[in-house]
Structure 1
Amino acid sequence: MDKLPNDPMILFSTLNMLLRDDYTSLDELCDDMNVDRTHLENKLASVGFEYSRENNKFW
Protein backbone atom coordinates (compact mmCIF):
# COMPACT_ATOMS: atom_id res chain seq x y z
CA MET A 1 0.00 0.00 0.00
CA ASP A 2 3.01 2.27 -0.26
CA LYS A 3 1.60 3.78 -3.48
CA LEU A 4 -1.48 5.10 -1.66
CA PRO A 5 -1.69 7.79 1.03
CA ASN A 6 -1.88 6.69 4.65
CA ASP A 7 -4.17 9.49 5.85
CA PRO A 8 -7.77 8.20 5.59
CA MET A 9 -9.21 11.46 4.21
CA ILE A 10 -6.54 11.76 1.52
CA LEU A 11 -6.89 8.04 0.81
CA PHE A 12 -10.66 8.55 0.36
CA SER A 13 -10.09 11.31 -2.18
CA THR A 14 -7.32 9.44 -4.00
CA LEU A 15 -9.29 6.21 -4.29
CA ASN A 16 -12.37 7.98 -5.61
CA MET A 17 -10.28 9.81 -8.20
CA LEU A 18 -8.66 6.54 -9.31
CA LEU A 19 -12.01 4.73 -9.40
CA ARG A 20 -13.56 7.55 -11.42
CA ASP A 21 -10.68 7.94 -13.89
CA ASP A 22 -8.91 4.60 -14.19
CA TYR A 23 -10.80 1.61 -12.74
CA THR A 24 -14.22 0.06 -13.24
CA SER A 25 -14.28 -1.53 -9.77
CA LEU A 26 -12.51 -1.60 -6.42
CA ASP A 27 -11.43 -5.18 -7.14
CA GLU A 28 -9.74 -4.06 -10.35
CA LEU A 29 -7.92 -1.25 -8.54
CA CYS A 30 -6.77 -3.58 -5.73
CA ASP A 31 -5.58 -6.24 -8.16
CA ASP A 32 -3.69 -3.73 -10.26
CA MET A 33 -2.09 -1.94 -7.30
CA ASN A 34 -1.54 -5.16 -5.34
CA VAL A 35 -3.33 -3.88 -2.22
CA ASP A 36 -5.66 -5.65 0.17
CA ARG A 37 -9.27 -4.63 -0.43
CA THR A 38 -10.36 -5.51 3.11
CA HIS A 39 -7.62 -3.31 4.55
CA LEU A 40 -8.71 -0.36 2.40
CA GLU A 41 -12.38 -0.82 3.25
CA ASN A 42 -11.65 -1.16 6.97
CA LYS A 43 -9.41 1.90 7.00
CA LEU A 44 -12.07 4.03 5.31
CA ALA A 45 -14.88 2.52 7.40
CA SER A 46 -13.02 3.70 10.51
CA VAL A 47 -13.74 7.29 9.42
CA GLY A 48 -17.27 6.64 8.18
CA PHE A 49 -16.92 5.78 4.49
CA GLU A 50 -18.11 2.67 2.68
CA TYR A 51 -17.70 1.47 -0.89
CA SER A 52 -20.70 1.56 -3.23
CA ARG A 53 -20.35 -0.99 -6.01
CA GLU A 54 -23.24 0.60 -7.91
CA ASN A 55 -21.57 4.00 -7.92
CA ASN A 56 -17.98 2.71 -7.94
CA LYS A 57 -16.92 5.10 -5.19
CA PHE A 58 -16.55 5.51 -1.46
CA TRP A 59 -19.04 7.68 0.38
Structure 2
Amino acid sequence: MELSNLDRLDPQILLGIVNEKLRLGSGNLADLAAEMELDSLALEQRLAEIGFHYHNDVNQFRRG
Protein backbone atom coordinates (compact mmCIF):
# COMPACT_ATOMS: atom_id res chain seq x y z
CA MET A 1 0.00 0.00 0.00
CA GLU A 2 1.26 3.44 -0.92
CA LEU A 3 1.72 5.62 2.16
CA SER A 4 3.98 8.28 0.70
CA ASN A 5 1.18 10.85 0.41
CA LEU A 6 -0.13 10.83 3.96
CA ASP A 7 -2.65 13.62 3.51
CA ARG A 8 -4.63 11.65 0.92
CA LEU A 9 -5.33 8.68 3.18
CA ASP A 10 -8.20 8.60 5.62
CA PRO A 11 -6.48 9.02 9.00
CA GLN A 12 -8.38 6.11 10.57
CA ILE A 13 -7.20 3.77 7.81
CA LEU A 14 -3.69 5.15 8.12
CA LEU A 15 -3.79 4.47 11.87
CA GLY A 16 -4.77 0.85 11.30
CA ILE A 17 -2.07 0.28 8.71
CA VAL A 18 0.66 1.91 10.77
CA ASN A 19 -0.23 0.14 14.02
CA GLU A 20 -0.39 -3.21 12.24
CA LYS A 21 3.04 -2.67 10.67
CA LEU A 22 4.45 -1.61 14.04
CA ARG A 23 2.98 -4.69 15.69
CA LEU A 24 4.12 -7.15 13.02
CA GLY A 25 7.68 -6.18 12.50
CA SER A 26 8.92 -2.66 12.92
CA GLY A 27 10.96 -2.20 16.07
CA ASN A 28 9.87 1.40 16.50
CA LEU A 29 8.51 4.40 14.64
CA ALA A 30 11.92 5.37 13.25
CA ASP A 31 12.39 1.88 11.80
CA LEU A 32 8.93 1.96 10.23
CA ALA A 33 9.53 5.40 8.73
CA ALA A 34 12.86 4.31 7.25
CA GLU A 35 11.41 1.05 5.93
CA MET A 36 8.49 2.80 4.25
CA GLU A 37 10.39 5.95 3.29
CA LEU A 38 8.06 8.15 5.33
CA ASP A 39 8.62 11.36 7.23
CA SER A 40 7.96 10.23 10.81
CA LEU A 41 7.13 13.77 11.94
CA ALA A 42 4.53 14.15 9.18
CA LEU A 43 3.06 10.78 10.14
CA GLU A 44 2.88 11.78 13.79
CA GLN A 45 1.26 15.10 12.90
CA ARG A 46 -1.31 13.42 10.65
CA LEU A 47 -2.36 10.98 13.35
CA ALA A 48 -2.33 13.71 16.02
CA GLU A 49 -5.12 15.37 13.99
CA ILE A 50 -7.40 12.56 15.13
CA GLY A 51 -6.03 12.44 18.67
CA PHE A 52 -3.49 9.61 18.38
CA HIS A 53 0.13 9.85 19.49
CA TYR A 54 3.02 7.41 19.30
CA HIS A 55 3.90 5.62 22.54
CA ASN A 56 7.37 4.13 22.38
CA ASP A 57 6.81 1.85 25.38
CA VAL A 58 4.07 -0.10 23.56
CA ASN A 59 5.28 0.68 20.01
CA GLN A 60 1.93 1.93 18.75
CA PHE A 61 -0.24 4.97 18.28
CA ARG A 62 -2.83 5.42 20.99
CA ARG A 63 -5.42 8.03 21.79
CA GLY A 64 -4.22 10.71 24.13
State the alpha-carbon separation in 2 of the partners of residues 37 and 15 from structure 1. Answer: 11
Corresponding position: 1:50 with 2:53? yes
1:48 is displaced (CA, Å) by 0.3
CA RMSD in angstroms, aligned pairs only:
1.4
Task: After TM superposition, list the pairs within 5 Å mapping 1:12-51 onto structure 2.
Answer: 12-51=15-54
Percent pairwise identity:
36
AA of the residue aligned to 1:36 = D
Q: C-alpha offsets along residues 35-58 of structure 1, whole Å, 9 cap, x if unaligned?
A: 100100000001100000000000
State the alpha-carbon separation in 1 of the partners of residues 52 and 28 from structure 2. Answer: 16
Which residue, out of 11, 15, 18, partners 2:14? 11
Which contiguous aligned blocks of 4+ residues in structure 1 show a shift greater than 6 angstroms? none
State the alpha-carbon separation in 2 of the partners of residues 16 and 43 from structure 1. Answer: 14
Instruction: Name the structure with the higher strand share.
Output: 2
The TM-score with structure 2 as length reference comes to: 0.84
